[in-house]
Amino acid sequence: QVQLQESGPGLVKASQTLSLTCTVSGASINSDDHYWNWIRQTAGKGLEWIGRIYSNGATTYNPSLKSRVTISLDASKNQFSLSLSSLTAADTAVYYCARLFSGYEVSFVYYFDHWGQGALVTVSP
């Protein structure tokens, strides 16, 4: 059973850098068919895709956040991480890690198939 679990500080000061880690169990982060993503949700609002990483370390970021985001992975620990710099109150959100399946079932498919439970991060003044 694939499980993803976010971890990291729940409170971070404005202007500082947020660091979160997602630990994957039941699947290998080295999988050819999957990308590992960060997604956030601000209070009362919708979901925002932050970015993703592949097993070879290749990353893609949301253009609106690209200047502040770094996603990395540690295959030896089966983990991937998010770093978001220059925080403001607008970055207060629940941060989810999620696996995206990009591969073949009967035909080629592309969708988020597993999600973590989410981690609330509050940015304080």
Is 110 near another protein (CB under 8 A)? yes
Q: Confirm if 55 and 29 have CB atoms less than 8 A apart.
A: yes
Helix and strand element counts for the chain (H, E): 0, 11
Burial status of residue 59 (CB atoms within 10 A of its CB: 0-12, 13-18, 19 or more): middle
User: Rule CB under 8 A: which of 25-84 touch another protein?
Assistant: 35, 37, 39, 46-49, 52, 60, 62-64
CB closer to another protein out of 87 and 98: 98
Is 116 near another protein (CB under 8 A)? yes
Which residues would be at the binding site for another protein (CB under 8 A)? 35, 37, 39, 46-49, 52, 60, 62-64, 96, 100, 105, 107, 109-113, 115-118
